[in-house]
Structure 1
Amino acid sequence: MGLLLLAFCAFVVPGNLGAQEKGSLLVMPLPALDVQGEGEFLIDGHFGISLKGYREPRLEQARHRFLDTLSQETGIPLWRQAILNPPHFIVQTAGPSAAVQQLGEDESYHLEISTTDVQLTAPNPIGVLRGLQTFLQLVTITPRGFSVPVATIDDKPRFPWRGLLIDSGHRFVHISAIKRNLDGMEAVKLNVFHWRFADNQGFHIESKKFPLLQEKGSSGFYYSQDVVREIIAYARDRGIRVVPEFDMPCHTASWFLGYPDLASGQDPSRSSAIDPTRESTYKFLTEFIGEMAALFPDSYFHAGGDECDVKEWEGNPRIQGFMRAHVIKDGAALQVLFTARIQKIVAGRKKIMVGWDEVLQPDTPKDVVIQSWRGPNSLADAARNGNRGVLSSGYYIDLNQSAAEHYMVDPLGDSAATLTPDQKPRVLGGEATMWTDIVSDENMDNRIWPRTAAIAERLWSPQQVQDVDSMYQRLAIISQKLGYYGLRHRLITDEMLERMSGELDPTPWKVLAAVVQPPRLYERQELRTFTDFTPLNRLDDAVPPESDTAR
């Protein structure tokens, strides 16, 4: 039996090794520079890892997570012995990173793997975090056991802003889902968690100064400030910044349930836009933004500004009178006035404002960061205007597009490719966006993963990395590995099919699910109205956005 098993391994495994020897390393994102050698570094019960140089608790925690994931993947219990064993894996950290992680901090690392030793060196803990994830992705099974191929890697990101937006405004997203997706972000070297807390449908964060926001607007589901601090610390341990978003002046119907005087509509229950003409509005927002700015240590604060229906202002006689008195020609110009006031409030709290495309105007302060949902042309316009920007158009992962479609979208593509050398650095990177209009905690993982790994590669790896076939080969591998981090994207479909069919082995359903895909873009929303309490338990909720069989 042992000879048969050895023969089976010898037959199956070399195909995988051959791909690794002849082509790219089987990791995502691909490193900036790698040189592949001969042989492999074996991982067994004698594996030992040691931290040298600068030390801090975050590095100790990173080592524990590293060993936990490595143990999950190999089945070898390494949690205790790998710290006690003689070390053949040395992690050398030169010094600390910033107390509060900053945009543009050094994330580089050098990873040198021989047949006998591994050396990971980095200027700070963030680089160590990135290098540990690369090593974990290199682990594979060979005829000799689990191992990592001999290689020398020098790596750093192409863009400093590589994010994932999770929308907790349309639907409340439970902390367990937030945490496991932060684990996935660490695995693929994403470094910005854009957390959106409120929309017309709900207000889902605790305000101690204005408690009616969550008491009236959350249906009882909201994040306490202690939980928010817990998530910020959890993210920092993984080298991830947390940028909060409070969209204004529109998408704010849930605010008015507790504070109707903020509404611009004559009937607050039908209003979705803040009144930008009352001084009481700015007094309220000064206190609210001050409270939230103190809660979130990151230097950036997202104030939204998108999709504002100015008809609500233009239909209000009192607001119209204000506009005439101040020679404001239309609702768009009134939003410019509002945005300017909000920017000053944010800046007064020593934060840098981020806003969606609509925020950009000729006189927008140059430190305001523009997040583009309209496309690369808008992003290029921001850069030419002197503003920095982040691309999300093309990375809307809730629209059920293919990984290849996302992969070929480049922040410096299209119009941005014509930017001057002085303008191009203003393009900071991009963000995948997980809007929760028709996504729940249950199926969120298979909407985010594994396709977001392809976006992560676009934002980290050199621009010339564009081989779609190679991307899909490596995406299949990272999809499997993400399961070791607790992500559930590969489990969800079968679980939901079992529930829908009432069968323990719903084989006919699985055959169908393997070759179909959910509706793309906004087709499904056009067919029916979804609320926070609409059940998401149908076939199009269960199947992943892209069928590997049908592709």
Structure 2
Amino acid sequence: MPSATCKYRLTDRHLPGSAHCAIFIKKTHSTMHYRFLFLILILLYHPLSAQQRPALMPWPQQIQKIGAGFRLNENLQIKITGSSERLERYVARFKQRLARRTTLFFDDTALANKKEPRLIQIRFTQTPEVQLGVDESYQLLILPAKVTLTATTDIGIMRGLETLLQLLTADDKSYFFPGYEIKDKPRFAWRGLLLDVCRHWLPKEVVLRNLDALAAVKMNVLHLHLTEDQGFRIESKVYPALHELGSDGYYFTQQDIREIVAYAADRGIRVVPEFDMPGHATSWFLGHPELASAPGPYELARTFGVKNPTMDPTKAETYEFLKNFLTEMAGLFPDEFIHIGGDENNGKQWSANEDIQAFMVEKRLVSNHELQAYFNRRLAAILTRLNKRMVGWDEILDERLPKSIVIQSWRGKQALVDAANAGYDVLLSNGYYIDLFQPAAYHYLNDPLPAGAPIEPQARTHVLGGEATMWAELITPETVDGRIWPRTAAIAERLWSPAAVKDVDDMYNRLRRVAVQLENVGLQHMKNYEMMMRRLVGEENVPVLRTLVDLLEPVEGYKRHGARKYTVFSPLTRVADIARSDAFEAMNFNKLAESYVANHDMTTKEELKALLLTWVDNHQQMKTLVRHYPAIAEVMPLSEDLWRLAILGLQAMSNTTVHDAEWRASAEQALTDAAMIKAECELKVVEGIRALVEAAR
């Protein structure tokens, strides 16, 4: 395609406040040159030296620097005191990951024999079942002569090994673990991720690589959302029509589930299945319309939102069916808990069914909520007989339910408070909805048990922890990693670390480095970011598109659903699907602008000018690209906004621009326009440009 390289002159007609100045810009550097400079700025603001706080996430309960570290060579010996086959496998994976990062040949005996032995000593005494409340504490001591990792359980050793990997550092001599003494344990016992594999199918390989990521940040629950209006995603041999007719052919076989459960247990992670009922149940009814509250036929939902199909809670046959099905599922999932959903039942089928209405009169049930509570009590009894505890979304909260159930709060925190004070165990997901594209800082400051929470002292132990929720309306297997990570690492820290650990800047400093580490467990959040841009504009043009996309974030909340009608067939390959919820490059620019406003340092000014000139130049290249790649046409208004803001920033720092009332009014209009949502994205450098404008004299 034609080159976008050119020399150009921006006249005053192109500038906000055009009567007051003209800026002449000669392009002398390539976009790649400026991108390299931008990376240098990132390092200046977030140095990766061994002297800074280590990139640990979650941050430990206690950590103390104790001097020189433990240097690695090929003669690494790991000695284990204690018996655990799963830990032996975990240690083998630890050693493989360490080898990949250091390129040390630990398996080369001849080479190792020439080196001084390096010893990691592991000691533990118990190998418990993977269950709620297992001891995950550990102690880590890193000395020049030896690394000692001790714990009560092998699962605690697993958590400590992840800390050790995160500590890995290098200098001009070798790789090493810096000297620290760490004593660590989790604040909450339930630290989970919900994966919705229904609305868009997520195959087994996605689940497995995310289990590795969960282990890397010490999370210990995978909540699998397995049934939904859009699909029934698990094989049932008792009722095969469920998956045969309700899945479009995309479902986990029972062997898949056994593999997932075993894979998770090998990493000290529990798997909690969710079978959503009585609502969100369309997929059940393709094979078994007799379960529904209205006659069929039924089809899988292709759009999203709350649907009408609902189970009939008045039939004895419904409970017989569910008893048989849940008995089968209980045999696949050894965990103590089974989630029954219970959310967003609009009750329309119940209200329209004369038999159901007569049943409610007979049972003196005055509302659909009371009818659903009746249904939930019957379910709880079935699960109790199966030695399972029922979990449900906060709609199921009702004082007539047994205290053995767990309430998962998603609509707000009041349900968590009310349930805990009433004696129910609770989980927090409100504030951890990572499908809403909110930044990591928002989730990080969302505490399940904040200081001053109106929970009675004796009820505080009922707060088990929380779960990040990855609902799948707007994700696919190639985007899901980037929507979960690295933000969920911040949630992992909130659920593990002391409540007092809440410095957002420090969290982001560590999160950037942890994001890279997470690639080492197989996540595709960084690789697919580039790949999806290559799809849109070709490999050679990625730097141009990335200059813009790096500064964008997808619009928060449910606004994307309001912008267009999404279905299960929609292409989730647009810039809005690529842009990250934390635009780190935009954060860096905003901080650089803030620093300049505070100090008026000339070096900082030159750094800002270099970035702004890059953005001016990039828009010219985007205008060339769009003639060949129409998929990016929708983001051209954002590129133009960035161009205008870049010029505005240059004017704000210019000594020759007249910063009078007319200029400021024009600048305010440009800032307002740039802050508007376009192509379901937001340009995140408005804050930094505004700071420069307001500081202009």
Deviation at 1:18, TM superposition (A): 5.8
Per the alignment, residue 122 of structure 2 pairs with 91
Q: Is the 1:376–1:414 Cα contact (8 Å) retained in structure 2?
A: no
Task: Identify which of 165, 182, 191 aligns with 1:162.
Answer: 191
Pick closer, same or farther for the CA change 1:368–1:549 going to 2, 3 Å.
same
| 2:313 paired with 1:276 | yes
| 2:85 paired with 1:57 | yes
Task: Identify which of 189, 209, 213 aligns with 1:184.
Answer: 213
Amino acid across the alignment from 2:434? I
Amino acid across the alignment from 2:74? G
Q: Is the 1:73–1:481 Cα contact (8 Å) retained in structure 2?
A: no
Deviation at 1:64, TM superposition (A): 1.0
Deviation at 1:74, TM superposition (A): 1.4
Per the alignment, residue 55 of structure 2 pairs with 26
Amino acid across the alignment from 2:142? I
Q: Is the 1:50–1:87 Cα contact (8 Å) retained in structure 2?
A: no
The answer to which of 529-538 and 26-35 deviates more is 529-538
Correspondence 1:397-408 to 2 at 5 A = 397-408=434-445
Deviation at 1:283, TM superposition (A): 0.8
Which secondary structure does the structure 1 equivalent of 2:187 belong to? coil
| 2:340 paired with 1:340 | no
Deviation at 1:266, TM superposition (A): 3.6
Deviation at 1:140, TM superposition (A): 1.4
Deviation at 1:83, TM superposition (A): 10
Distance 1:503 1:39 in 2: 45
Correspondence 1:187-266 to 2 at 5 A = 187-266=216-295
Distance 1:221 1:281 in 2: 25
Runs of 5+ consecutive residues of structure 1 not aligned to the other structure: 1-10
Structure 1 residues 476-499: Cα deviation after superposition (integer angstroms, max 9, x where no partner)? 111111111111111111100100
Correspondence 1:303-452 to 2 at 5 A = 303-413=340-450, 417-452=453-488
Which secondary structure does the structure 1 equivalent of 2:467 belong to? strand
Amino acid across the alignment from 1:501? V
The answer to which of 260-269 and 147-156 deviates more is 260-269
The TM-score normalised by the length of structure 2 is: 0.74
Distance 1:15 1:543 in 2: 25
Pick closer, same or farther for the CA change 1:94–1:400 going to 2, 3 Å.
same
Deviation at 1:414, TM superposition (A): 7.4
The answer to which of 340-349 and 311-320 deviates more is 311-320
Which secondary structure does the structure 1 equivalent of 2:554 belong to? coil
Structure 1 residues 43-62: Cα deviation after superposition (integer angstroms, max 9, x where no partner)? 2222221212x222111101
Q: Is the 1:266–1:316 Cα contact (8 Å) retained in structure 2?
A: no
Distance 2:191 2:112 in 1: 32
| 2:537 paired with 1:498 | no
Q: Is the 1:49–1:83 Cα contact (8 Å) retained in structure 2?
A: no
Distance 2:382 2:390 in 1: 9
Task: Identify which of 492, 504, 509 aligns with 2:545.
Answer: 509
Amino acid across the alignment from 2:120? F
The answer to which of 397-406 and 165-174 deviates more is 165-174
Deviation at 1:131, TM superposition (A): 0.4
Amino acid across the alignment from 2:427? V
Which secondary structure does the structure 2 equivalent of 1:549 belong to? helix
Task: Identify which of 127, 138, 149 aligns with 2:178.
Answer: 149
Amino acid across the alignment from 1:477? R
Distance 2:428 2:421 in 1: 15
Pick closer, same or farther for the CA change 1:125–1:495 going to 2, 3 Å.
same
Deviation at 1:87, TM superposition (A): 5.0
Which secondary structure does the structure 2 equivalent of 1:228 belong to? helix
Distance 1:142 1:182 in 2: 31
Cα-Cα RMSD: 2.0
Deviation at 1:42, TM superposition (A): 1.0
Q: Is the 1:216–1:257 Cα contact (8 Å) retained in structure 2?
A: yes
Amino acid across the alignment from 1:64? A
Pick closer, same or farther for the CA change 1:79–1:18 going to 2, 3 Å.
closer
Distance 2:541 2:145 in 1: 46
Q: Is the 2:121–2:147 Cα contact (8 Å) retained in structure 1?
A: yes
Distance 1:389 1:237 in 2: 26
Deviation at 1:19, TM superposition (A): 4.5
Distance 1:150 1:502 in 2: 46
Structure 1 residues 339-382: Cα deviation after superposition (integer angstroms, max 9, x where no partner)? 11011111110100001001111222111001110122211111
The TM-score normalised by the length of structure 1 is: 0.94
Per the alignment, residue 4 of structure 1 pairs with none
Which secondary structure does the structure 2 equivalent of 1:463 belong to? coil
Distance 2:236 2:543 in 1: 49
Q: Is the 1:48–1:83 Cα contact (8 Å) retained in structure 2?
A: no
Amino acid across the alignment from 2:265? R
| 2:104 paired with 1:68 | no
Percent of aligned positions that are identical: 44
Structure 1 residues 411-457: Cα deviation after superposition (integer angstroms, max 9, x where no partner)? 01277x23222111100000001111110000001000000000000
Q: Which has the higher helix share?
A: 2
Q: Is the 2:72–2:118 Cα contact (8 Å) retained in structure 1?
A: no
Amino acid across the alignment from 1:218? S
Per the alignment, residue 472 of structure 1 pairs with 508
The ranges of structure 1 where at least 4 consecutive aligned residues each deviate by more than 6 angstroms after the TM superposition are: 82-85
Which secondary structure does the structure 2 equivalent of 1:537 belong to? coil
Distance 2:188 2:218 in 1: 11
Runs of 5+ consecutive residues of structure 2 not aligned to the other structure: 1-42, 300-307, 588-697
Q: Is the 1:64–1:79 Cα contact (8 Å) retained in structure 2?
A: no
Per the alignment, residue 27 of structure 2 pairs with none
Per the alignment, residue 615 of structure 2 pairs with none
Q: Is the 1:395–1:455 Cα contact (8 Å) retained in structure 2?
A: yes
Distance 2:112 2:255 in 1: 32
Task: Identify which of 77, 95, 105 aligns with 2:105.
Answer: 77
The answer to which of 429-438 and 271-280 deviates more is 271-280
Deviation at 1:232, TM superposition (A): 0.3
Bigger radius of gyration among the two = 2
Pick closer, same or farther for the CA change 1:80–1:30 going to 2, 3 Å.
farther
Number of positions where the alignment pairs a residue of Structure 1 with one of Structure 2: 535
Per the alignment, residue 453 of structure 1 pairs with 489
Structure 1 residues 134-173: Cα deviation after superposition (integer angstroms, max 9, x where no partner)? 0000001223221111011111000000000000121221
